[in-house]
Every structure is written in C-alpha cells, then in structure tokens.
Amino acid sequence: MTPFVYDIALSVPFRGLSRRSGVLFEGPAGWAEWSPFPEYGDQEAAEWLRSALETATHGHPATVRDRVEVNGIVPALSPADAAARAVTSGCRTIKIKVAAPGDPVADDVARVAAVREALPSARLRVDANGGWTLAQAAEALRLLEPMGLEYAEQPCATFGELASLRAMETGVLIAADESIRRADDPYRVRDAGAADVAVLKVQPLGGARACLRLADELGLPVVVSSAVETSVGLASGLALAGALPDLPFACGLETGRLLAGDVATEPLVPDDGWLVVRDVTPDPALLRVHRAGPDLTSFWLDRWERVSRIVEDQG
C-alpha cells in the first residue's frame, strides 16, 4: 500500500483550517483515506489508520439503502454569507457552526436567524464543537429554541456538561460528537444520559464496522458525519450511513463542497440534498494536481511510519 499525500485548499475557512491534507492509498478492496487533523497525537491517529486499513483491505459494509439525505453545512460566516451558503446547498437540513473562538452568542443568534429567514421550512441544527460553557450553552439555546432547532451538536465540551444541559430541558435535543469520538469510553454519554443523538465519524472511531457495533450498543439515533475529507474518505462515511438499520436524521456528509478541489472526477456532492451510496476511485490526473509539496509530504510520511508501528504493535 503506497501512500499518496494530497493537499487541497478549502473554499472557505473551516475549523481553523484553510487547507486540508492527508494520505490516500489503494488496497485489495479499493481506495482509502487517512487524514487525522494535524494537531492529533499518534495514538489518536492510530484509530483513523485502522479505519483506513479496514476500508482498503475489506471494503465497505453491505448497505440497506442506495442514497442518503445530507445536511448543508454553514461555517461561522456573516449572517448574509451564511444564508447564501445555506440556500445554495440545496439541502432541506442545514447545520450551522456556532461558538467560534471569541465570537459572542449574539453573532451565533444572528447567523441562525439569517438562515431561518432565508429557509423558513428547513430543519436547522447548530454545532458548537464544545465551544460553550454550560451557562453560555443554556443561554444560547434559550435564544435559539424559538427558531425551531432540530438539535444542538456538542454544545459543551464534556459529557458531564452535556448531561447537565440536557437535564435543564431547554426544548432542544442534544447531540454528542467529540464526547463520543474523542472519549476514552464512548459509552459514558449513554450511561450519563448526556445525549439524545449520537454523531459518528468513521475514521476517528476505527472504521465503519466499529461504528455499526457502537451504534447498536449506544441505542441512540445516529447521524453520520465527515471529517472534511476528499470524496475517497466521504465514501466510507456514506457507506456507514447506507448500512445503518435506521437513519432518522440527515447526515453531515456535504463537506465535499468545503474543498476547492477533489481527487475524483465525479466528487461526492449532493443532488437536491441527497448523496448516492457508491465507491470512489481517484483520477490519476487529479492526484497529480493535488499532490502535496515536499515538506508536507515528509510530514505525512513520517507520521504514517510512526502510526503504522503503533497499529502493528497493538495488533
């Protein structure tokens, strides 16, 4: 499995990033992506590599549906830009980023209000990435609840804060993301009664099959989300969404539009808010276009060697 390092600009800043990079490689069952965020340590990145190796070696799990509804994603933009992006997504569900560092809650309220005005019938959800304190989250949800939120994703950082917020009965469902995928024990969210919805991402949780087991054992409705990957990585998330027995919510898999380019000639972007479940094979010409420079390639290949040894040692 020869690793290929890609580097693609983002069309809008997202999650503090202006570019996305990672490793693509081909195994006996097809192509896979390994792209843990740069700040993640090697032990955490090992779960991402297990996921990629599973995809390349064994392929995707069998699916029960051939298409998946997705939510449009709106970064922490100005109200006007947020509304415009929500409309152009073509999706009936919109996820709006809130709680950006240094931004007051009033900015979040204005952003959500602009999207609601532009799309009166859309299902709206917000994602704070754990950026609010418990008090801030309670106040934010009090102000946002009249706008008809479907749920708030990771409004606070810890599962204990999520449980406390949920006990306040704000009228807004609570979804857990980081408190599952970055937790030593992902079941603590369930045991503490800290969430109404589980957000699962294939790479951080060790692969689609591990996610299917986790979804069954958590006993919560599941939303599959992406880690801002190329279409190769998105295909794994889409396969998980296609394999879940129940899928009551739209999934967070519209992130391909955040990239200014892709490695596939037919990238995974939604049509009228839906994605077709399918495999993705990179185009050699596009791989050449998006090949990372020497320094970034060295960073990723060194990381690949270190993390591969961890995976091999742990079996």
Domain range 67-283, CATH architecture? Alpha-Beta Barrel (3.20)
Say if residue 39 carries a ligand binding annotation: no
Yes or no: say if 231 and 264 are a contact pair by the CB < 8 Å rule. Answer: yes
Angle at 170 (CA atoms; ends 168, 174), nearest 5 degrees = 90
Q: Residue 14: its pLDDT value, please?
A: 78
> Residues in the chain with pLDDT < 50?
none
Give me the sign of the Cα torsion angle 79, 81, 86, 90: positive
CATH superfamily of the 4-60+285-314 domain: Enolase-like, N-terminal domain (3.30.390.10)
Per-residue pLDDT reduced to its tens digit, 266-304: 999 999 999 999 999 999 999 999 999 999 999 999 999
164 Cβ contact partners less than 8 Å away, ≥ 6 residues apart: 134
Type of residue found at 239: A
Per-residue pLDDT reduced to its tens digit, 123-152: 999 999 999 999 999 999 999 999 999 999
What does the domain layout of the chain look like in residue ranges?
4-60+285-314, 67-283
Residue 260 carries which DSSP code? Answer: S
| Predicted TM-score of the model (pTM) | 0.95
Give the mean pLDDT of the chain. 96
Q: Residue 13: its pLDDT value, please?
A: 80
95 is catalytic: no
Say if residue 117 carries a ligand binding annotation: no
Phi, psi of 291 (to 5 degrees): -65, 135
What is the number of other CB atoms lying within 10 angstroms of the CB of residue 104?
9
Type of residue found at 106: A
4-60+285-314 and 67-283 share one fold? no
What is the number of other CB atoms lying within 10 angstroms of the CB of residue 16?
9
Residue 168 carries which DSSP code? Answer: T
Q: Residue 16: its pLDDT value, please?
A: 77
Say if residue 127 carries a ligand binding annotation: yes
CA distance 73 to 71: 6
Active-site choice (20, 50, 97, 116): 97
- Biggest CA-to-CA distance, the chain: 54
Active-site choice (20, 201, 257, 290): 201
